[in-house]
Amino acid sequence: MAKYLLLKHYRGAPAAVNDVPMDRWTPAEIDAHVAYMEDFATRLGESGEYVDGQALAPDGAWVRYDGEGRPPVTDGPFPETKDLIAGWMVVDVDSWDRAVALAGELSAAPGAGGRPIHEWLEVRPFLGVPPTVTE
């Protein structure tokens, strides 16, 4: 089994087929989307493939340590993850192909008009533990 991160992006990926921002969806469309995501997670939990997942709030800030005292907070010169990442899911599956298949299924979550979003998801394997060499 290997763990993969499925990242849902606000921007930075190619546009989704049904590319209507969530803040323009009706409450019923949002409810249908959330229900799809919850049902997907429940099904993967039952198969033992679900590890964790969260939708992310749009709030956040860049923070860095700058010596003694309080760390400064800045909106920085770079895009923030709050502008880029909408949420994530971690799955523990048998293969890359299974992770890709699940990402494809997750991409079909309903959006505006109840139609599938067909959004792009980023699939990233967790960095494994390097092998130990003993001689």
- What is the CATH classification number for the domain harbouring 111? 3.30.70.1060
Give the C-alpha separation, 56 to 77, whole Å: 21
Which sign, positive or negative, has the C-alpha torsion 30, 33, 57, 20? negative
How many domains in the chain? 1
135 domain-assigned: no
User: pLDDT for 20-55, tens place per residue?
Assistant: 888 889 999 999 999 999 999 999 999 999 999 988
Residue reference for tokens 């494994």: 128
- The helix/strand/coil state of 77 is coil
24 domain-assigned: yes
pLDDT band at 79 (very low <50, low <70, confident <90, very high): low
| Domain span including residue 116 | 2-125
Nearest to residue 28, comparing CAs of 119, 116, 110, 107?
110
Decide if pLDDT at 90 tops 70.
yes
132 domain-assigned: no
